[in-house]
């Protein structure tokens, strides 16, 4: 059996006492498709760190979204013309329910939850972000993955007319479209979410509107933005950064302070808004929840 049910993680286990709370009101994820910067209603809240939130202003202006350019300010500056409505997601490969799903189809059955997660970029900086989303596994199960679907490949949007970074040539910034992948049991892990918003509002274009992945125990480049395709596959897919530079970027890309990458030791990080460096935590602080996924693997080698 290749598709494992998600491990049962009681929220209280990863939420500092006194911070965890559950809200009862529920209006449904439909609200998420009304427009950008619109208010969202979440049904529950899971706070996985007692660290202070990174201010919304920093989260929405200091971004990595190479489709709009390689500077941190490019996405916020250049993403205004990007049309993330209407939107649809193609579901392909080894599953019982392939097809084209509108954003409404995707979101409708899922109640949105607030998830406060650490985010650690492989470049050595980090943030704490309150996302609004739902478990990725809950969506994937709806498409009935086959037993030989061992990986999921995700593809981001390709629209060079609307995305200045994709239009750049000689050399191209990255091999487009941006692709990412997860092993199916990683994708089914309850901490992996699809986010439709942050700070209680629908995602702005620069943060990956209308729907993006958030995998908090991996380096930020795995949390790809503006998803247009999900494909269930048997073989490990190549991700964009690996294709661009396999010496620097791996498939697993689990946050690991003991495994230096060629660009950086990875032992410490700079929290955006702070002066002093912090020690980086194994699996970005989520080791208790996710380390069983990698039992027996050499995490230094299989970066
Ligand atoms: N997704 C796409 N499609 N294109 C990108 O360039 N950059 C990644 C990831 N997702 C990227 C992407 C990187 S390197 C990081 S650190 C995070 O998005 C940053 O997310 P944020 O800008 O919303 O904080």
Share of the chain above pLDDT 70, in %: 88
SS3 59: helix
Domain that holds residue 19: 11-294
- For the CA of 177, the closest atom of ligand 1 is 3
206 falls within a domain: yes
The CATH number of whichever domain residue 33 belongs to comes to 3.90.420.10
Give the sheet arrangement for strand 88-93, strand by strand.
99-102, 88-93, 227-233, 151-156, 179-183
301 falls within a domain: no
Distance in Å from the first CA to the final CA of the chain: 25
Distance CA 196, CA 40 (A): 9
Q: What is the pLDDT of residue 15?
A: 46
299 falls within a domain: no
218 Cα: distance to centroid of ligand 1 (angstroms): 12
Which among 158, 173, 204, 208 is the best mutation to test ligand 1's pocket, defined by most ligand atoms within 8 Å of the CB?
208
Q: What is the pLDDT of residue 303?
A: 72
Q: What is the pLDDT of residues 3-61, one digit of tens each?
A: 233 343 444 445 443 333 333 233 344 444 556 678 999 999 999 999 999 999 999 99
Q: Can you tell me the mean pLDDT for 205-212? A: 98
73 falls within a domain: yes
1 Cα: distance to centroid of ligand 1 (angstroms): 33
225 Cα: distance to centroid of ligand 1 (angstroms): 6
Q: What is the pLDDT of residue 34?
A: 55
For residue 67, CA distances in Å to 70, 71, 234 come to 8, 11, 28
Residue 141 or 32, more confident: 141
Q: What is the pLDDT of residue 56?
A: 98
Residues with Cβ within 8 Å of 168's Cβ and at least 6 positions away in sequence, in order, are 69
95 falls within a domain: yes
Enclosing H/E stretch for 164: helix 164-167
Q: Give yes or no for a contact between 193 and 222, defined as CB atoms under 8 angstroms apart.
A: no
Does ligand 1 come within 6 angstroms of the Cβ of 48? no
Q: What is the pLDDT of residues 58-110, one digit of tens each?
A: 999 999 999 999 999 999 999 999 999 999 999 999 999 999 999 999 999 99
Enclosing H/E stretch for 136: helix 136-142
Q: Domain tally for the chain?
A: 1
300 falls within a domain: no
11 Cα: distance to centroid of ligand 1 (angstroms): 26
Q: What is the pLDDT of residue 282?
A: 97
Does ligand 1 come within 6 angstroms of the Cβ of 225? yes
Distance CA 227, CA 247 (A): 26
Exposure string for 3-39, b = 16+ CB within 10 A, e = fewer: beebeebebeebbeeeebeeeeeeeebebbbeebeee
Q: For residue 191, which of 65, 55, 63, 287 has the smallest C-alpha distance?
A: 287
What rounded mean pLDDT belongs to the chain? 89
Task: Using a cut of 0.75, tell me whether the model's pTM lies above it.
Answer: yes
151 falls within a domain: yes
Residue nearest to atom 11 of ligand 1 (CA): 65
In the block, which residue shows the tokens 């791996």? 250
299 Cα: distance to centroid of ligand 1 (angstroms): 23
| Other beta carbons less than 10 A from residue 267's beta carbon | 14
Q: What is the pLDDT of residues 227-267, one digit of tens each?
A: 999 999 999 999 999 999 888 889 999 999 999 998 899 99
Structure tokens at 255: 């946050």
3 falls within a domain: no
């Amino acid at each position: 059996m290749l598709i494992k049910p998600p491990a049962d993680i009681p929220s209280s286990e990863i939420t500092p006492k006194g911070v965890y709370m559950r809200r009862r009101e529920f209006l449904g994820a439909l609200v998420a498709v009304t427009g950008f910067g619109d208010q969202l209603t979440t049904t529950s809240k899971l706070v996985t760190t007692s660290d202070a939130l990174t201010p919304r202003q920093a989260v929405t202006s200091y971004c990595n979204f190479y489709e709009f350019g390689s500077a941190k300010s490019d996405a916020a500056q250049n993403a205004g013309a990007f049309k993330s409505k209407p939107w649809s997601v193609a579901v392909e490969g080894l599953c019982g329910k392939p097809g084209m799903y509108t954003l409404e189809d995707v979101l409708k059955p899922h109640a949105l939850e607030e998830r406060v997660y650490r985010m650690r970029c492989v470049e050595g900086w980090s943030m704490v972000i309150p996302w609004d989303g739902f478990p990725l596994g809950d969506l994937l199960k709806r498409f009935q993955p086959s037993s030989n679907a061992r990986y999921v490949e995700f593809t981001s949007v390709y629209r060079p007319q609307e995305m200045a970074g994709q239009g750049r040539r000689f050399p191209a910034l990255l091999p487009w479209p941006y692709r990412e992948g997860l092993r199916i049991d990683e994708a089914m892990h309850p901490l992996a979410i699809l986010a439709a918003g942050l700070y209680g509002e629908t995602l702005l274009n620069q943060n990956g509107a209308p729907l993006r992945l958030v995998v908090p125990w991996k380096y930020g480049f795995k949390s790809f933005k503006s998803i247009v395709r999900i494909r269930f596959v048997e073989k490990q897919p190549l991700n964009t950064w690996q294709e661009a530079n396999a010496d620097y970027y791996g498939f697993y890309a689990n946050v690991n302070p003991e495994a230096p990458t060629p660009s950086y030791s990875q032992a410490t990080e700079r929290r955006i808004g702070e002066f002093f460096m912090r020690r980086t935590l194994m699996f970005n602080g989520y080791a208790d929840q996710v380390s069983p996924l990698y039992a027996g693997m050499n995490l230094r080698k299989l970066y």
